[in-house]
Structure 1
Amino acid sequence: MTLQEAVLTDRERLVGIHHLDTLIVRNNLALSYQQAGRTDEAITLQIAVLIDCERVLGPEHPDTLTARSNLAVGYREAGRTTEATTLLEAVLTDRERILGPEHPDTLTARNNLATTYADNGRTTEATTLLEAVLTDRERILGPEHPSTLTARNNLASAYSQAGRTAEATALLEAVLTDFERILGPEHPDSITTRNNLAVTRRRAGP
């Protein structure tokens, strides 16, 4: 992260704080803050990046929509689920209109919104949306694409939260087999899925 901060300082000095390359570095640094659990710093930086993207690129530019989506995910990670939901619903509407309903970024927006619905306890809406995301990703990207496997994993988690543990367990077992075969047993996605499967089996009981 220290290296990213140094790169940002250099970019700001050489090309200015509003240059597209600088905005990209600032966005990446915000994501690193988020992954490190520095949520307040991440959100502060993401808000600044979004404001600059809207002013420099326009409110409907794909990079602006990405910045808005990143801020929404930051809100969700910070537990600010109402703000996250409102922003993600707007991002999905814009991406469907500007990029089309089947664009990968649109599918990602739909997935992020569904995950936030699940966090809010809106399991029926989350499940319906995630089933649609999975169907689209299987058709557009193929059944073994990492994004498709992630969608399957997210749907299984929604099933588990909704008490549909048998369906969740069956789906997670299949996803884990695919992740281990395609990405390897020690890949982070394989480890996460293995953990999700263990949690779901505990919920199901003996």
Structure 2
Amino acid sequence: MEKLVICTCTWLLLLLFTATTTTVMGKYYSRSHVVDSPTTVKKTKLHFFLHDIISGKNPSSVLVAKPNGTIVQEGNIVPFGSVYVFDDPLTVGPSPNSEVIGNARGLYASISRGSDLTLLFNGDLEFTSGEFNGSSISVFSRDPLVLTKELAIVGGRGKFRMANGFIINNAIFFNVTSGDAILEFHVTVFH
């Protein structure tokens, strides 16, 4: 009987010690501290064009998920729940034959059930030539399907590391039947 009491007490002490140690050691944060940062923030303005081609034999944007159980209205190329991935060229001018300066890669999804067609745009705009070669701008924003809109810059890589800012996006060409578009980007980025 005495062995049973000693054994039970040992187990209780071990259980109590383990439970309190875990609680004390578990932290989900660290102490805040001052970080040296640049004293100046650069503001850069960029202007380029994005070519999003859904039609044809070599599209730059493809449907990867379509809605299940959603009634698709005639002529609606992005019904609620549609998800597209894209690898679109970025060019100096609006012509598809103008100089390519980078690419936009990511996805967009239709997130609106109403008449206000809206996409969720998640993309990385990488520059492959010029002063910003190898750098990119990260965009994550609500994207209403209107001619002029604003998109949020939430980060970047290379020379645009820790960037923020905005893009004024103008649709200079949009084919409502095919979904093909040429978008003009006026970018203001702080980095």
Q: Give the TM-score, by structure 1 length.
A: 0.20
Structure with greater proportional helix content: 1
Structure with greater proportional strand content: 2
Question: Higher relative contact order at CA 8 Å, sep ≥6: structure 1 or structure 2?
Answer: 2
Q: Give the TM-score, by structure 2 length.
A: 0.21
Rg larger in structure:
2
